[in-house]
Amino acid sequence: MNTWENTMNLRKVTHIYKCDDMFLYEIIEDYKAAQSTEEKNEIFSSFCSSVWSCDNKRRTYKKTIHFNVNKDLLDTEPGQIFNTWSCIEYKYYISSTRDKNWRPIIRQNINNIYTRYFDKDVILGKEYMDLIKTPKRLYYEWISGVNMNAASVAGIIENSISQSEKVKLKLQKEKLTLSWNEYKKVVEEFLRRAFENSKLIEEYEDNKNIFTRLDFLTEDHFYVKYINRSLNGEIKKWEKRSCGLPQNSRKGYKHCKLCGIIIERSGNKKMYCDKCALTKERERKRKNAYKYRIAK
Ligand SMILES: [Zn+2]
């Protein structure tokens, strides 16, 4: 190999598109200006590796609902019951970043979407949280003077904790199953669509009306918002698609009471997805047949 070839090879290697230190608007500008599909692919894949290699990884941690039973009350029967329930654990997640850079901010949103839609360990629905907060709420009612005896306290707490387990199962079923690696592929599709559909700020500036409605501080802020909004919209569409539902149902959506997948809301009576409705119907018929045989 002569020196000229060497230099060319070196240039090829060093020319790889690197976007870690670039502004997001520069990357999108480059993408828009790219002359060939190869060039677009290179910019896009560099953008993706930059997002995936970002330090802002998805993190979950144990959080507790905690309260301290007053020392003077520890010897009382209700006090002792409250004390056994004075620390209830649940899984929480890091949902925001203070970083101002586009990489951690977009990555944070990608992490959050995964946690909300797919992580069955992180259950934070209001119904569930209210139930596991019962001992704490009750304790403060008790010390503020509401009359309670040990038996009723124990009964209410045990009830709400066992109810919370049921609600947790229900909410877990409402989440779909997708591994992080599969999710990454899905997200890359969303991001690619966002890149393809993106408009440059100049295009908005032409239209004064749209321009004044946009609340952004910097150009990068504008694109970060744009990408994150696209991701939030795409995941909703994806969820419906993967459940075989129309994208824009006027009737709205709800969850199947049995398996938890989303279904179209068609009248108040519909509670189950087609599959579960069939199972339920079979169960009902079998019960009737059994009753009929007994009656005979
Ligand atoms: Zn179902």
**What 3-state class would DSSP assign to 262?**
strand
Question: What's the gap in Å between 191 CA and the centre of ligand 1?
Answer: 31
pTM of the predicted structure, to 2 decimals? 0.83
**Rg of the chain over all Cα atoms, to the nearest angstrom:** 27
Ligand 1 centroid distance, CA of 263 (Å): 8
Distance between Cα 232 and ligand 1 center (Å) = 25
CA of 78 to the centre of ligand 1 (A): 42
Q: Give me the residue spans of the domains in the chain.
A: 60-173, 253-295
Give residue 165's Cα distance to chain centre.
Answer: 21
Asked if residue 70 lies in contact with residue 45, where contact means CB atoms within 8 angstroms, the answer is no
- Measure Cα distances from 58 to 61, 113, 124, 180, 291 in Å: 10, 10, 17, 10, 54
Per-residue pLDDT of the chain (296 residues; tens, 9 = 90+): 455 555 444 444 445 899 888 999 999 999 999 999 999 999 999 999 999 999 999 999 999 999 999 999 999 999 999 999 999 999 999 999 999 899 999 999 999 999 999 999 999 999 999 999 999 999 999 999 999 999 999 999 999 999 999 999 999 999 999 999 999 999 999 999 999 999 876 676 655 555 544 545 567 888 999 999 999 999 999 999 988 888 777 788 889 988 888 898 887 788 898 899 999 999 999 888 888 777 76
Å from CA of 259 to ligand 1 middle: 4
What does the buried/exposed string (b/e) look like for 55-75 if buried means 16 or more CB atoms within 10 Å of the residue's CB? ebebeeeeeebebebeeeeee
* C-alpha 201 to ligand 1 mean position (Å): 45
- 155 in Cβ contact with 123 (< 8 Å): no
Q: Is 88 helix (H, G, I), strand (E, B) or coil?
A: strand
Q: 142: CA distance to ligand 1 center in Å?
A: 42
- Whole-number Å distance, alpha carbon 156 to ligand 1 midpoint, is 31
For residue 223, give both structure tokens. 């694109």
